[in-house]
Amino acid sequence: MSSSPDTIAREVRRRRTFAIISHPDAGKSTMTEALALHARMISEAGAVHGKSGRKATVSDWMEMEKARGISVSSTALQFNYTPTGLANEDPGDEVEPNVINLVDTPGHADFSEDTYRVLTAVDAAVMLIDAAKGLEPQTLKLFQVCRHRGIPVITVVNKWDRPGQTPLELIDEISERIGLTPTPLYVPVGIAGDFRGLYDRRSGSYVKFSRTAGGAKIAPEELLDAQQAAQIEGDAWTAAVEESELLSEMGQDHDEELFLAGATSPMIFTSAMLNFGVRQLLEALVELAPAPAPRDDVDGKPREVTDPFSAVVFKVQAGMDASHRDRLAYMRIVSGEFERGMVVTHAQTGRPFATKYAQAVFGRDRSTVDTAYPGDVVGLVNATALAPGDTLYDDPAVEFPPIGSFAPEHFATLRARSAGKYKQFRKAMDQLESEGVVQVLRNDTRGDASPVLAAVGPMQFEVVTARMLAEFTVETELEPLGYSLARRTDDASSPELDRQRGVEVFTRTDGARLALFSDKWRLQFIEKEHPDLTLEPLVAAAD
Ligand code: GDP
């Protein structure tokens, strides 16, 4: 029996789906664990703090995945959270909790298209930065994707318990380098390295933190008024209040409309390790981040969240874990109620799709999902027909626009080491391509025995060669090509482009014509000499 639109609307209102974007080592695993601690999912943090003898916690798995390099499984952690007045206060169970979906982005220095696809499944992002390091390359790239997709961003300055830059330096850096105006919700009391508490800019009160042993437990908070705060903290308090006034003078107060439009970013200071500021982050998500919203279909018509079930597949992953050798497709629910076992339609093939094996996956842990709502992420086991960007629905029919491939920046040819393996090699190539592991380019000159692989990050190549060997027993040889950028072109422009030095034209499996260039100077030169040629930029990560 499915639920009424009212029930679905209520479920949607209490949901928040977000991802953390950060450079490696900024503290994403530690923060994930701190969030789980505050949501009372775990009773103690510590796995990533290197304390021995503690029960393995959620982020342990992320660490292992990272160390292994490939097959970082993008998954979602779902937890209930009820906003409380103070972190150490019991939320009680009178109020219906919020449901938070934290969708994991792969946590390594390299990029892959997967990272970008994950960001199509969230309604908000938390940009986590290290107080000492400020903006780092991966944060910048991921932020560009958020901007491109219009995802609102909450900025978290982490590791405030360690020496770092001043709040104003960090704010300036973010404004200047990415054109996003931070609007701190709190100003830290105490400089970086001497984190005492947070000045709540909206209420004017002071949240004072206390440390717990090893930062393993929720840090107790005390709520004090301005007078008490001034007495206890002296100059540190005065400095925080002055900083806040300065920010207000510059117009850097939170504004809902500007935040949702992606112009400003509420900012919070935290220490994930000490569990300081974590409640404030959760509350900002609940209070400020948008709940799941209608999504436009291919014709621009919105599918309302209370319409019958629909979902978009945003990632397909072959289980590299020996005990789970299967293929999982992750879908983000767009509308309606999902009930395990329902037979839905796969829009791309028009075929029915049975959802008997629906799972929530976080790292090693898998559990059966019986019901889910818009904003939730569900893994479908052995979903061989599904590819990233595909739509699943219950009548009436709907098809969402494709996710789109991102501009590749790395190119290499791949061939089977032994000619006898050619058939398997082709089969494997088709399979990996349909999963969206890598883009495949072909042209007549090169033939089919050594197609050109195109990727956003070189790690995608490693995944291809590793899986060719592990799953298809094909040993391959990868040879990097001297191209570094691609442009979309057409039939009319291809012959002229092919005549140019340092350029080669290919057809991608989706039919797109791509011209590859050795470098941007070559491209600029050709654009100048032949202004009539079609050379359009692809959706780029860092345009
Ligand atoms: P990730 O790569 O972004 O997942 O980062 P981790 O969570 O693994 O953290 C990287 C390192 O920074 C680890 O040694 C953490 O213990 C440490 N770390 C994370 N958060 C904090 C923090 O708030 N303060 C301090 N001092 N260290 C932190």
The span from the CA of 274 to the CA of 188, in Å, is 14
Going by alpha carbons, the residue nearest to atom 24 of ligand 1 is: 159
Q: How many whole angstroms from 29 Cα to the centroid of ligand 1?
A: 7
Q: How far apart are CA 132 and CA 135, in angstroms?
A: 9
CA 388-393-396 angle, 5° bins? 140
Residue 363 alpha carbon to ligand 1 centre in Å: 19
State the DSSP string of 100-144: EEEEPPP-SSS--HHHHHHTTS-SEEEEEEETTTBS-HHHHHHHH
Does the pLDDT value for residue 108 go beyond 80?
no
User: What single string gives the DSSP state of each residue in 374-424?
Assistant: TT-EEEEET-TT--TT-EEE-SSP--PPP--PPPP-EEEEEEESSGGGHHH
Contacts of residue 411, defined as CB under 8 A and 6 or more positions apart, other chains included, come to 441, 452, 453, 454, 455, 480, 481, 483, 484, 516
Biggest CA–CA distance in the chain, Å, is 81
Does pLDDT of 42 surpass 80?
no
Q: Which residues pair with 221 in a beta bridge?
A: 209
Residue 352, pLDDT above cutoff 60 = yes
- Per-residue pLDDT band at 364 (split at 50, 70, 90): low
Asked if residue 543 has pLDDT above 50, the reply is: no
Mean pLDDT, residues 505-522: 93
Percent of the chain with pLDDT over 70: 90
**129-160, pLDDT tens digit by residue?**
999 999 998 888 888 889 888 999 999 999 99
* Cβ(116)–Cβ(406) below 8 Å: yes
493 C-alpha to ligand 1 centroid (Å): 50
Atom of ligand 1 nearest to the CA of 49: 16
Of 74 and 482, the structure prediction assigns the larger pLDDT to: 482
Ligand 1, atom 19: closest residue by C-alpha: 27
Q: How far is CA 496 from CA 138, 292, 504, 534, in A?
A: 37, 47, 10, 11
pLDDT at 463: 82
**Ligand 1 atom closest to Cα of residue 24:** 2
Least confident of 32-36, 305-309, 340-344: 32-36
**Average pLDDT for 451-480:** 89
Q: Give the position, in ligand 1's atom list, of the atom nearest the Cα of 62.
A: 4
Q: Which two structure tokens, joined as six digits, stand for 15?
A: 């949901």
Ligand 1 atom closest to 276 (CA) = 23
Top pLDDT among 176 and 537 is at 176
Give CA–CA dist 346/316, Å, rounded. 15
Task: Provide φ and ψ at 348, rounded to 5°.
Answer: -70, -30
Q: 145 — alpha (psi -120 to 50), left (phi > 0) or beta?
A: alpha
Percent of the chain past pLDDT 90, that is, above it, reads 64
- For atom 6 of ligand 1, which residue has the closest CA? 27
Query: What is the distance in A from the centroid of ligand 1 to the CA of 73?
Result: 20
SS3 per-residue string spanning 446-468: CCCCCCEEEECCCHHHHHHHHHH
How deeply is 166 buried, as exposed, middle or buried, from its count of CB atoms within 10 A (0-12, 13-18, 19+)? middle
Which protein residues touch ligand 1 with a CB less than 6 Å away? 22, 24-30, 48-49, 107, 158-159, 161-162, 271-273
Task: Report which of residues 259 and 115 the model is more confident about.
Answer: 259
Eight-class DSSP state of 195: -
Report which of 134, 275, 300, 295 is spatially closest to residue 216, judged by C-alpha positions: 275
Measured in Å, residue 184 CA sits from the centre of ligand 1 at 22
Residue 512 token pair: 């797109």
Nearest CA to ligand 1 atom 10: 25
Average pLDDT over residues 347-375: 88
In angstroms, the CA 288 to CA 268 distance is 13
Section 71-75 average pLDDT: 50
Give the residue-averaged pLDDT of 244-256. Answer: 95
Instruction: Give the Å distance between the CA of 273 and the centre of ligand 1.
Output: 7
CA of 140 to the centre of ligand 1 (A): 19
- Nearest Cα residue to 40 out of 94, 97, 2, 119: 97
pLDDT band of residue 542 (cuts 50, 70, 90) is: very low
The pair of structure tokens assigned to 398 is: 């709907």
Angle, in degrees to the nearest 10, between helices 235-249 and 167-178:
30
Q: How confident is the model at residue 291 (pLDDT cuts 50, 70, 90)?
A: very high
Among protein residues, the one with the nearest Cα to ligand 1's atom 17 is 27
Atom of ligand 1 nearest to the CA of 272: 23
Residue 66, pLDDT above cutoff 90: no
Count how many residues are written for the chain: 543
Average of pLDDT values for 319-347?
84
Pocket test for ligand 1, best of 20, 21, 28, 30 (most atoms within 8 A of CB): 30
Q: Which residue has the tokens 């300055």?
A: 157
pLDDT the model gives residue 164: 94
Higher-pLDDT residue of 322 and 380 is 380
Torsion of CA 143, 203, 162, 214, to 10 degrees: -110
Strand arrangement, sheet containing 343-346: 351-354, 343-346, 391-393, 310-318, 327-335, 377-381, 358-362, 365-368
**Cβ count near 95 (within 10 Å):** 10
Please choose from 21, 35, 48 the residue to mutate so as to test ligand 1's pocket, defined by most ligand atoms within 8 A of CB. 48
Cα separations in angstroms, 513 against 197, 223, 507: 56, 61, 5
Spatial contact of 270 and 184, defined as CB atoms under 8 Å apart: no
Question: How many whole angstroms from 361 Cα to the centroid of ligand 1?
Answer: 24
**Which of helix, strand or coil describes residue 326?**
coil
pLDDT tens digit sequence for 379-422: 998 788 898 999 999 999 999 998 877 789 999 999 999 989 99
Q: Examine the pLDDT at 54 and tell me if it is beyond 70.
A: no
> In the predicted model, is pLDDT for residue 362 greater than 80?
no
Ligand 1 atom at shortest distance from the alpha carbon of 30: 7
Residue nearest to atom 14 of ligand 1 (CA): 49
Pocket residue to mutate for ligand 1, from 269, 273, 275, most atoms within 8 A of Cβ: 273
Ligand 1 atom with the smallest distance to the CA of 63 is 8
pLDDT value of residue 238: 97
Q: What is the DSSP string of 501-515?
A: TTEEEEEETTS-EEE
Task: Encode pLDDT of 424-435 as tens digits.
Answer: 999 999 988 888
Q: How far, in Å, is the centroid of ligand 1 from the Cα of 30? A: 6
Q: What predicted TM-score, i.e. pTM, was given to this entire model?
A: 0.87
187-208 average pLDDT score? 96
